[in-house]
Amino acid sequence: MSNFFENIHDDNVYKFFSGGKWIKSHTGNLIEIKSPIDDSLVGKIQAMAKDEIDGVFSNALDAQKAWAKIALDDRAAVLKKAAELLRQNIEEILEIKVLEIAKNVGSAKSSILRSADIIDFTADQMDVVNGQEVLYSKDFPGGGEKKTAHIIKEPVGVVLAISPFNYPINLAVTKIAPALLAGNSVVVKGPTQGSITTAMLVEIFNKAGASGAISFVSGKGSEIGDYLVSHKYANMIDFTGSSEVGKDIIKKAGLKPLLLELGGKDAALVLDDADLDLAAEEIVDGAFSYAGQRCTAIKRVLAHKDIHDDLIKKIAAKTKEKYSILGDPRDEKTQLNPLIINKQGEYAGELIDDALQCGAKVLAGGVINKNYMQATVLDNVTEKMRIAWEEQFAPILPIITCEDEDEMIRLHNKSEYGLGGSIFSQDVSKAKELAKKLQTGVVQINKKSERFPDNFPFLGIKNSGLGVQGIRWSIEAMMRVKNIVENK
């Protein structure tokens, strides 16, 4: 590893970061990070103790007070520098990232570049932080002219940012950059599988000038997660992960403000007037990119009966064309990467077996070998099958035939999730009206479900999340309003 990252590890043993220093745990306990590609050792991370976490939060609390006093344009300059350093060190980060989470080289690289763009764009949003407002009581009926409200914004304090394995750079950046610009300090908890990549990102911000305002903790979520989210010095939690864990955070966090991006069962509604070539292309990419391990992956298709037969032929053909080469994601020829752990392959197998026993038909794929799984298309799926409702987080695409648009709406809204969705129709006006009826946070028209671009609002409803993200909205969520009332 280059001199740039030399401080974050000793002989491939990665440290935690607190008070501007990279530190080894006094426990001596380490967690091995092995690559999903071939089970080779990528490195070891610290299994931190509770007293060390206390120290991290204490340092973050002190650092936040100093960071908030730094001029806003200077904080923005730190972000600009971080974006620059991220681009300069992309190849080294990319090598570790691909090993650690088994993401295809091209996709992993574009995600890092997108992350640098997010940091840059965030740095330009100083007006969101500076925004102030004055209200007068005379404007309210019976209010008179005796009161003036001076409404200002303040940072919430210490933000706990918890990112997932599938986007250890991107979904950490969407938390870190808005928090720092707003004047908060950030304690970053990376995913266990993805912690090394996250540590490298934290060093980017450290070298850019954030120093003590950013911290990094490591350890298994099952062991330190509850302690982190319930910590008295954690003033806000920004979490991306499963709905199950998100619900647990809500119970244990107390009255902390929360931003939660949770699970999804995003549906693609294909109407009888859709451009089927476009729909098949977008659906296949939406379902199988990064082996379906994305919250916003297309996880089911609701197809109108009149176009069903033509659609499934195009989907099956496109799947075999674009996602049939399963293998090592470091090889540019590889189209489909392995799953993050073997257990996910076992779960996917259970869902497929249940569907087949209930009458589903395999149109493509279906073979699983530990965490290496073929892109699988299932037809004849009904609402009685588990795959119709459970979030697979694997390359399985179930297709459900619908009589009409009313049935599509019913099946869509029956889900416990409400993150994203897509409507494919050549009648955009009709699609927009239909979108209003879907119980979900974001609806794409004639495009796969996705979070991009990051200056748009992004949210989930029901079991898919809490709060609104997107750069401007994240900054606002990480500040609290104070009302100073002047009486005359």
User: Could you give the residue numbers annotated as active site?
Assistant: 261, 295
Q: Which two tokens stand for residue 194?
A: 């993805």
Residues forming beta bridges with residue 203, ordered by sequence position: none
CA nearest neighbour of 242 among 343, 170, 172, 162? 162
Distance separating alpha carbons of residues 481 and 478, to the nearest angstrom: 10
Sort strands 236-240 and 258-261 into parallel, antiparallel or unpaired: parallel
CA nearest neighbour of 340 among 99, 152, 118? 99
How does DSSP classify residue 326? B
CA nearest neighbour of 206 among 33, 43, 78, 349? 78
Q: Which two tokens stand for residue 297?
A: 């992956």
State whether the Cα torsion 88-455-175-185 is positive or negative. positive
DSSP strand E in 196-253: where?
Answer: 214-217, 236-240
- For 184, phi then psi, to 5°, come to -90, 160
**Buried b or exposed e, range 175-205, using 16+ CB within 10 angstroms:** bbbbbbbbbbbbbbbbbbbbbbbbbbbbbbb
CA nearest neighbour of 94 among 291, 288, 329, 334? 329
CA nearest neighbour of 452 among 84, 83, 176, 113? 113
- Please, are residues 322 and 30 in contact by the beta-carbon 8 Å criterion? no
User: Residue 410: CB partners within 8 Å, gap ≥ 6?
Assistant: none
CA nearest neighbour of 450 among 287, 340, 338? 287
How does DSSP classify residue 36? T
What are the C-alpha distances in Å from 467 to residues 118, 149, 383, 464? 19, 26, 30, 10
